[in-house]
Amino acid sequence: MAMSGVTVQDQCVKMWEKMKTSKIKACQFKLTANNKEIEVVEDSIIEKGTEGAWKKFTSSLPENQCRYAIYDVEMSIDLGAGLPPGTRTKLTFIVWAPQSSPIKQKMISASSKDALKKKLDGCQVEWQLTDQSELEVKDRVDDLKDLPDIKTSGNGILMFEGVKV
């Protein structure tokens, strides 16, 4: 339970486990109407192998409501001279808190984040985003390129979610 008193529904952890075993690509979570639990946003689940998954995911984030999300980011990495590109994935936890969302919702969302994140063992990257412009591929690549295993892998990221960088 978070300091805010919010609990995490078991279904959220089940979605995380599905993502870790490559069954789903992404999923969103939200606070229930009474602000007491974090639940799965049912129509937000993106199956592994979905064409244009990043675009589908980013376009589904609401403009005026907070969300938590998990996303299995896939990148193609330049491994250096004479080697074929390699693939890296990062299990990512996203906190979506747009400027236009209600103050109370942002406060509860922020104070409840750790309750959810603690249940998501193996999370590799966390992004706290507040605006659609932060969802651009360039911004996400800029965040990822400085990770130690990406930085030491050769000449950087070639593709992010199928989009040439």
Predicted confidence at residue 23, as pLDDT, reads: 96
Instruction: Count how many domains the chain has.
Output: 1
| Percentage of the residues of the chain whose pLDDT score is greater than 70 | 98
Assigned domain for 1 exists: no
- The CATH number given to whatever domain includes residue 114 is 3.40.20.10
Assigned domain for 105 exists: yes
- pTM, two decimals, is 0.92
Residue 102 φ/ψ, nearest 5 degrees: -60, 140
Distance CA 74, CA 140 (A): 12
Quick: pLDDT tens for 83-141.
899 999 999 999 999 999 999 999 999 999 999 999 999 999 999 999 999 999 999 99
Statement: residue 3 has pLDDT above 90? no
What sign for the dihedral angle of Cα 136, 52, 124, 75?
negative
Assigned domain for 2 exists: no
